[in-house]
């Protein structure tokens, strides 16, 4: 029998009037109602698609969009895209895919750079329709929390919590990333030296496992699933909602940009600030002298004002820091949200110029702190004379290892590791330059790994199965066991290539 979609089902097909009604496991194609008669005449029995509140899309434009990401050079085409109308849709379609051996890639904002949220011939589950934010409540220990849909972007989350005078403690630099997407990788930012990563500030998750089970997990309930999902690259489950810890939000912040002329002093002062906690936010950038060496270091530090912190006192905040007082020192007071969303105007300009859709073969590494001057110095020397492209930047900032408590966020075994990110923007038609960049990323990763570093897996480093095992080190056996338990057919997040067939 061919499946008859229920009234609830909203299905879009290859063309108007051609709704998806079934999957043919023999030819591994979706069957539309137009093809149904042919199937019926042949006596074939494709498996009916379950009734959905949302849409199952197979039109070429949707498939092409799902076969792209922020890298804009890896393109794996799915056979369908689920735009869920409910969590029940995710459950139904993951069960369906599990029954038929179809791979499933959750996709938040598609801001991986190397095909991470893509699947060749599988189903892409868009999480953006699952974007509810709220309610804000107090957890069992009195900590304020907010429950959010996995597809909510961080700008929407913080806008909603600010209405309560509260904020998530840690932000990525760019706010238009999905909660599910950053919780699948870690979520690092300038506040991490005080609060750990975003994954360290989650109290509960609701997830759909690779077998289609809808489960709630936390540090005290199904803890093995909880730790396998946080920073778990989507391998064990699709996150459908998360409960996030909140802290008091400042009304305004004092923002400093401090120039340095010397890498060792820059890193030393960052380490000092990571340790003494006088600033709520610490990051840093390295830029090139015109056409030359990457030796312009800028420490970015932000103090939160009341009610999250005391009235900022510039003299006390800058005491003992060895920045170049003859250089350009910037200090300004910004509204809290404007500070968090400070990249938005630059992104809008890049979008308008068509450059946001250029290729981004990004390199993201975590350096052991004791080797950071030497490793960062060598990587920066290697960049000399090269332009990173429009909007390109090198980020370099400290983390505090003890606060990175999520086992699958693999950070070097060092008290103060540094994130180093080389964020390229390349012309997408220059395939040779992109390939060369990937090869250079790979070489940089090998150097850093040999020194005890890891990669932060959001960018473009070609990885083999052995590399992934090295990345996860001592937690690899239980990560692999969790994968077998929660995604026994190995169908989830194939674009990460962590567990190949």
Residue 174 interacting with ligand FAD (CB under 6 A) = yes
SS3 476: helix
Residue 185 interacting with ligand FAD (CB under 6 A) = yes
- What are the angstrom distances between the C-alpha of 238 and each of 120, 149, 161, 180, 256? 18, 12, 24, 8, 39
Span of 14-22, 156-164, 179-187, 400-408 interacting with ligand FAD by CB under 6 A: 179-187
3, 68, 69, 111: the active-site residue: 111
Closer Cβ to ligand FAD, 181 or 312, answer by number: 181
Q: Total residues contacting ligand FAD (rule CB under 6 A)? A: 36
* Catalytic annotation present for 100: no
283, 414, 467, 487: the active-site residue: 283
Span of 57-65, 104-112, 131-139, 427-435 interacting with ligand FAD by CB under 6 A: 104-112
Nearest of 459, 463, 494, 464 to residue 112 by alpha carbon: 459
Residue 471 interacting with ligand FAD (CB under 6 A) = no
- Are the beta carbons of 185 and 234 closer than 8 angstroms? no
Report the residue from 82, 158, 233, 286 that binds ligand FAD according to the rule CB under 6 A.
Answer: 233
Q: Is 407 exposed, middle or buried (0-12, 13-18, 19+ CB in 10 A)?
A: middle
* Catalytic annotation present for 173: yes
Q: Is 28 left (phi over 0), alpha (psi -120 to 50) or beta?
A: left
Q: Where are the beta strands (DSSP E) in 246-320?
A: 247-248, 252-260, 281-287, 296-304
Q: Which 257-286 residues touch ligand FAD, going by CB under 6 A?
A: none
Q: Which 108-147 residues touch ligand FAD, going by CB under 6 A?
A: 108-112, 116-117, 127
Give the N- to C-terminal CA distance of the chain in Å, as an integer.
32
Which structure tokens are listed for 422? 């080389």
Distance CA 178, CA 443 (A): 30
Residue 238 interacting with ligand FAD (CB under 6 A) = yes
* Catalytic annotation present for 283: yes
Closer Cβ to ligand FAD, 292 or 462, answer by number: 462
Residue 184 interacting with ligand FAD (CB under 6 A) = yes
- Are the beta carbons of 145 and 243 closer than 8 angstroms? yes
Least separation in angstroms between CB 49 and ligand FAD: 21
Binding site for ligand FAD (CB under 6 A): 69-70, 105-112, 116-117, 127, 150, 172-174, 177-178, 180-182, 184-189, 233-234, 238-239, 458, 493, 495-496
Residues catalogued as catalytic: 111, 173, 283
């Amino acid at each position: 029998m061919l499946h008859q979609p229920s009234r609830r089902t909203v299905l879009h097909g290859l063309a108007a009037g051609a709704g998806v009604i079934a999957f043919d496991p023999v030819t591994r194609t979706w069957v539309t109602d137009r093809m149904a008669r042919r199937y019926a005449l042949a006596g074939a029995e494709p498996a009916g698609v379950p009734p959905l509140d949302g849409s199952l899309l197979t039109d070429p434009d949707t498939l092409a969009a799902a076969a792209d990401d922020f890298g804009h050079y890896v393109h794996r085409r799915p056979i369908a895209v689920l735009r869920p109308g409910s969590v029940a849709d995710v459950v139904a379609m993951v069960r369906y895919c599990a029954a038929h051996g179809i791979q499933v890639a959750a996709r938040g904002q598609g801001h991986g750079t190397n095909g991470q949220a893509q699947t060749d011939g599988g189903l892409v589950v868009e999480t953006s329709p699952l974007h509810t934010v709220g309610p804000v409540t107090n957890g069992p220990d009195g900590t304020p929390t907010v429950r959010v849909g996995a597809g909510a972007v961080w700008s929407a989350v913080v806008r909603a919590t600010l209405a309560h005078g509260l904020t998530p403690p840690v932000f990525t630099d760019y706010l238009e990333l999905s909660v599910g997407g950053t919780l699948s990788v870690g979520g690092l930012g300038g506040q991490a030296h005080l609060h750990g990563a975003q994954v360290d500030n989650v109290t509960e998750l609701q997830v759909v496992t690779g077998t289609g089970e809808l489960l709630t997990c936390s540090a005290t309930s199904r803890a093995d699933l909880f730790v396998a999902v946080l920073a778990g690259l989507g391998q064990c489950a699709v996150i459908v909602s998360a409960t996030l810890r909140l802290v008091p939000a400042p009304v305004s912040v004092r923002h400093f940009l401090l120039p340095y002329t010397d890498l060792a002093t820059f890193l030393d002062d960052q380490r000092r600030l990571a340790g003494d906690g006088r600033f709520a936010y610490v990051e840093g950038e390295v830029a090139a002298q015109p056409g030359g060496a990457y030796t312009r270091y800028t420490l970015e530090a932000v103090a939160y004002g009341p009610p999250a912190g005391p009235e900022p006192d510039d003299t006390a905040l800058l005491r003992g820091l060895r920045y170049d007082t003859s250089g350009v020192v910037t200090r300004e007071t910004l509204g809290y949200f404007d500070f968090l969303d400070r990249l938005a105007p630059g992104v809008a300009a890049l979008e308008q110029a068509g450059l946001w859709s250029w290729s981004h073969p990004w390199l993201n590494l975590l350096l052991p702190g004791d080797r950071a001057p030497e490793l960062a110095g060598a990587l920066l020397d290697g960049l000399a004379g090269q332009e990173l492209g429009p909007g390109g930047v090198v980020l370099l900032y400290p983390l505090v290892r003890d606060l990175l408590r999520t086992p699958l966020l693999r950070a070097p075994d060092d008290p103060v590791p540094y994130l180093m990110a080389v964020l390229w923007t390349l012309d997408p038609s220059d395939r040779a330059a992109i390939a060369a960049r990937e090869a250079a990323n790979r070489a940089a990763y090998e150097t850093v790994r040999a020194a005890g570093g890891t990669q932060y897996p959001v960018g473009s480093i070609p990885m083999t199965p052995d590399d992934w095992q090295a990345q996860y080190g001592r937690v690899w056996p239980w990560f692999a066991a969790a994968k077998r338990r929660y995604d026994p057919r190995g169908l989830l997040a194939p674009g990460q290539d962590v567990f190949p067939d």
